[in-house]
Structure 1
């Protein structure tokens, strides 16, 4: 029974994370569970993978599985303590799902849907079944999972600063905050910008606290690094950097998308590390898009010059302004559509003959929705348009539907993509 309760508690945390309801305290509890065992981390990576989620949600909704959700709830409610925990989380007076009000059930259904996906896999870990079904995938996790730069989960619509992976500080986009770390580092959060005092006098090799700025889906942020470099950090992104640059290189780690304006310092090259590439610059402006799960990482040069090196091969390319490097199994150079690349920084979506698959990725990150693609959807259908990011999601979906190529159905944070009408 104790195992069941713990599995339920972890399932609730992951479900609340996926539905954007997790609090900072719950986030720390979930992080502690992930650190307990490498298998926990591997399973968390599997459970929060967008493709895996989409597949499992689709399976749950198949006709032959239509009552799987109800069956799971029935099993959960056979444990009185489990029922009590769910009851408290739902803020209802009866432990029986059948007695929930329609309004509360509708509000909780996304969370419980995820619980229905997650609970069986958590139970499988405790019995060893996980290794038979999932261990091959977990043995070689995405390269980004092997970095120290991981995406901790935050409260909804909250940018967070983690110091040495321990102290989580929520940042607001209005007003001012003074941030003091245990090592004495002082930073200032001012109306949507995180500002570090420029410090170039630290002794080389001095230990400094590592900072990690994490943005949620639907929100970007700006940070001025300790060398004076400015970084615009995109949605659903993590940027890791030291409180002061003390080595021969100025190293930062990126998972997601960011635009850099690097302060010149020829004696100390600035290097951005992603899962597939290392981008070395002396002083320049460029954009990097390196989200986990996408086929390519894209480095686009605005001014100056950068050298892009593949992580797993000796191959490297030097970019000129207006060029873009695609990093996948190798490195490829192409001319960049600069307006489209930098649109996010200006609060826009600009699509020029963009495949539906790429558009769905953008919408998922900005509007915090889980995408489920039904059979028959043409993910290679191309679209062209210019849309303000502050528009409601429904407005963008309506624009896409007017083409006749695709249809949508939305239930809370679950967005179903349906084939266009014949």
Structure 2
């Protein structure tokens, strides 16, 4: 921490205690203090009574913000609430510092290199490939427009959900046809399958499925990262195939991450139960467990942070002790960019959350502030150097 930053924190603490700080200043101090309360900075030049008063004020306001947040969100996101509201990770404090001192030109924060251009975050983009090979660009498809496939109608809702619904009773001889929804890098999409199952596709992902589930199993295949909320049908198990792995469920919520460049397939269970078969090995997951498989690896990890695994679905980047290469894999997919490293790759590990709605230059400026990297954007390429 620079001397100017330390002095600013001390002045801000006294301003908060005097009741003269703005809401933005109070929120910043809460987030910073909650992470760095054992470090020198705020504590210096404060009396013991002032420090205790500040501690109590910060805790009360954080708890109040948690309570307000909980009133508007389902319990399943409880641990996610504590991440985002209490700001308990280092990167969040780094991001907040970046934001505050960016607004103060005299704070002495160095510029991180010229931004040649900028890249907007990803959005709802996907292609629907019909059984006959024809394609429909879904982000260009008008809402409420219909595509007829035998007895099935395919429509797009106002909020970008692709919906399969029965338009008429199918004839017994009607053939089962398959559709594929594919998201590009920089895209995501939601699909309501014919059985009512809801599917979220992350960037660079796909799902292939029949327009009617008429067999004793509901079979789909995926690539990339997909989250499922499976419609409960006890007599018709739902089976997901990705590579050589199959996941079988009756009705449950789970996430599968199976990008080829990751090397490891991860299945994380949020609700219900799933049976996973991979390379002749079998495991049954309980909620909050994760199966990791790849090569000789086949391991069940108990008590994973499900909300963190689903951060992408809820509009957030989530990093936990991730090096810059792991971070940039997420960034590459979401912003549809390439990465170039000049010199040694930074060894810093990142932990924290960032909204996926920020532009690429904003994201890289946050990371640069935290790790003192220089990030230059040229066209669709990020150049990272020390």
- Please, what TM-score do these two structures have when normalized by structure 2? 0.63
Contact 2:256/2:268 (8 A) holds in 1? yes
Matched, 1:281 2:246: no
Choose which of 159, 176, 180 in structure 2 pairs with 1:208: 176
Choose which of 287, 291, 310 in structure 2 pairs with 1:342: 310
Structure 2 alignment gaps of length 5 or more: 1-115, 118-122
Structure 1 residues 181, 401: closer, same or farther in 2, change over 3 A? Answer: same
Question: Structure with the greater relative contact order (CA < 8 A, sep ≥ 6): 1 or 2?
Answer: 2
Matched, 1:316 2:282: yes
Contact 1:183/1:209 (8 A) holds in 2? no
Partner in structure 1 of residue 207 of structure 2:
239
CA RMSD of aligned residues (A): 2.6
Give the alignment of 1:120-199 within 5 angstroms: 158-164=125-131, 166-172=133-139, 175-181=142-148, 183-191=150-158, 192-197=160-165
Partner in structure 1 of residue 271 of structure 2:
303
Contact 2:151/2:168 (8 A) holds in 1? no
> Per-residue displacement from partner, 1:62-82 (whole Å, max 9, x unpaired)?
xxxxxxxxxxxxxxxxxxxxx
Partner in structure 2 of residue 415 of structure 1:
382
Residues of 1 paired with 2:171 and 2:284: CA distance? 31
Matched, 1:266 2:220: no
Matched, 1:352 2:320: yes
Partner in structure 2 of residue 224 of structure 1:
192
Choose which of 370, 383, 386 in structure 2 pairs with 1:403: 370
- Please, what TM-score do these two structures have when normalized by structure 1? 0.58
Structure 1 residues 177, 322: closer, same or farther in 2, change over 3 A? Answer: same
**Superposed displacement of residue 207, structure 1:** 2.7
From the two aligned structures, give the one with the greater helix fraction: 1
**Superposed displacement of residue 268, structure 1:** 1.2
Contact 2:348/2:371 (8 A) holds in 1? no
**Superposed displacement of residue 199, structure 1:** 9.0
**Superposed displacement of residue 170, structure 1:** 1.4
Matched, 1:393 2:381: no
> Per-residue displacement from partner, 1:352-389 (whole Å, max 9, x unpaired)?
222222211100000010122334104x6310121111
**Superposed displacement of residue 333, structure 1:** 1.2
Contact 1:241/1:253 (8 A) holds in 2? yes
Residues of 2 paired with 1:199 and 1:280: CA distance? 28
Structure 1 residues 247, 204: closer, same or farther in 2, change over 3 A? Answer: farther
> Per-residue displacement from partner, 1:72-111 (whole Å, max 9, x unpaired)?
xxxxxxxxxxxxxxxxxxxxxxxxxxxxxxxxxx99xxxx
Structure 1 residues 341, 262: closer, same or farther in 2, change over 3 A? Answer: same
Structure 1 alignment gaps of length 5 or more: 1-105, 108-155
Residues of 2 paired with 1:214 and 1:321: CA distance? 28
**Superposed displacement of residue 157, structure 1:** 7.1
Structure 1 residues 174, 207: closer, same or farther in 2, change over 3 A? Answer: closer
Q: Which has the larger radius of gyration?
A: 2
